[in-house]
């Protein structure tokens, strides 16, 4: 029984990490109908920034995390203004090609600069090992992830529901044309949101170095996970991707533990089953945007 709870906890931690990583992509898609397969590259950037700061410059881990966010957000903001902006009206094929191109470039560049082996971030003592709660092993690092990601999720939800920016964002996601007709500066909302989403991805990337592994191929390895979260969870809310991430995280951990021979296939099975059942995702809207 305790192993079930441990696995559940690990799955939740994994899921929440996936959510932080992928929610920027969900908003990008929901807001601008832009398929950004290069989302993982921003995550990778944040991860490497954190790694360099902690491993080489001696920064404390918790000080480097915000910088991971900021670095990725900055890169995102610059790229949005220079490149992405010109492609919003293009076909999905063009967007896919463009973002794949960015992925290839980022993978090769990071490989060249940082080498191709996996990067480990030196963790502070406090995060190593695990607590024992009634026989259930709660990893400290994973607990931190749950706490940080949980707080982020609540903060996002609060911003969306309670702030003016949040309501502008929700309006713009719901119907960009009407929103801009109401005076909402949709491009500005989007630029900010895109940068924020990249920042979140960067933070997620830094956090995931320990759990998912950080190497130059990160954007390629986890592209499918992000796609599944966004497709299954839909792009018109926060709760959809959140639940989808949890489902994916728990399913993946449970699969690898209980059916180790077929572990990696659990997520593909989940993906196929959900698609057969609900072609537009569990929470997605039926209208094709």
Partner 1 sequence: MSAVTTQPDVSSQAIAHARWRAGEVAFWIAVLACGFLFPSRYLIMTDIVRLGLFALSLDLILGYAGIVSLGHAAFFGVGAYCAGLLALHGIITEPVIALVAAGLAAMVLGFLTSFLVIRGVDLTRLMVTLGIALLLEALAERFSDITGGTDGLQGIEIAPILGRFEFDMFGRTGFFYALAVTFLLFLLARRIVHSPFGLSLRAIKNNPLRAAAIGIPVNRRLVAVYTLAAFYAGIAGALFTQTTALASLDVFSFERSADLLLVLIIGGTGYLYGGLIGAVIFRMLQEVFSTLTPQYWQFWIGLVLVVIVLIGRQRLHRWVLWAPNLLIAQFGGRREAVAVPESDAP
In the complex, which residues of this chain contact partner 1 (CB under 8 A)?
29, 35, 37, 83, 86-87, 89-94, 96-98, 100-109, 111-112, 220, 223-224, 227-228, 230-231, 261-262, 264-265, 268, 271-272, 275-276, 279-281, 288-289
Smallest gap from residue 130 Cβ to partner 1 (A): 29
Smallest gap from residue 2 Cβ to partner 1 (A): 29
Specify the residue, 56 or 261, whose C-beta has the smaller distance to partner 1. Answer: 261
Specify the residue, 87 or 211, whose C-beta has the smaller distance to partner 1. Answer: 87
Specify the residue, 57 or 288, whose C-beta has the smaller distance to partner 1. Answer: 288
Smallest gap from residue 260 Cβ to partner 1 (A): 11
CA gap 107, 183 in Å, rounded? 40
Specify the residue, 38 or 64, whose C-beta has the smaller distance to partner 1. Answer: 38
Smallest gap from residue 95 Cβ to partner 1 (A): 8
Smallest gap from residue 106 Cβ to partner 1 (A): 8
Number of H helices, E strands in the chain: 12, 2
Specify the residue, 239 or 269, whose C-beta has the smaller distance to partner 1. Answer: 269
Smallest gap from residue 240 Cβ to partner 1 (A): 13
Conformation bin of residue 134: beta by default, left when phi > 0, alpha when psi is -120 to 50: left
Specify the residue, 72 or 99, whose C-beta has the smaller distance to partner 1. Answer: 99
């Amino acid at each position: 029984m305790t192993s079930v709870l441990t696995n559940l906890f690990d799955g939740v931690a994994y899921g929440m990490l996936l959510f932080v990583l992928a929610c920027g992509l969900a908003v990008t898609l929901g807001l601008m109908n832009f398929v950004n397969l290069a989302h993982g590259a921003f995550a990778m950037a944040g991860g490497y920034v954190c790694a360099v700061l902690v491993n080489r410059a001696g920064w404390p881990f918790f000080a480097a995390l915000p910088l991971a966010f900021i670095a990725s957000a900055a890169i995102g903001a610059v790229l949005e203004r220079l490149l992405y902006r010109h492609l919003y009206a293009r076909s999905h094929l063009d967007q896919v090609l463009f973002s794949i191109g960015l992925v290839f470039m980022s993978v090769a560049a990071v490989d060249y600069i940082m080498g191709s082996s996996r990067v480990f971030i030196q963790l502070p003592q406090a995060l190593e090992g695990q607590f024992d709660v009634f026989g259930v092993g709660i990893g400290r690092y994973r607990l931190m992830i749950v706490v940080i990601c949980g707080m982020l999720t609540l903060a996002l939800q609060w911003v969306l529901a309670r702030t003016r920016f949040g309501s502008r964002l929700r309006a713009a996601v719901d119907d960009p044309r009407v929103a801009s007709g109401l005076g909402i500066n949709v491009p500005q909302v989007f630029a900010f949101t895109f940068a924020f989403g990249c920042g979140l991805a960067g933070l997620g990337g830094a956090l995931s170095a320990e759990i998912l592994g950080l190497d130059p191929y990160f954007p390629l390895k986890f592209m499918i996970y992000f796609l599944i979260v966004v497709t299954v969870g839909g792009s018109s809310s926060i709760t959809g991707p959140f639940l989808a991430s949890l489902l994916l995280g728990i399913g993946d951990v449970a699969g690898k533990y209980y059916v180790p021979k077929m572990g990696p296939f659990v997520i593909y099975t989940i993906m196929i089953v959900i698609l057969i059942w609900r072609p537009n995702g569990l929470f997605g809207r039926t209208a094709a945007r």
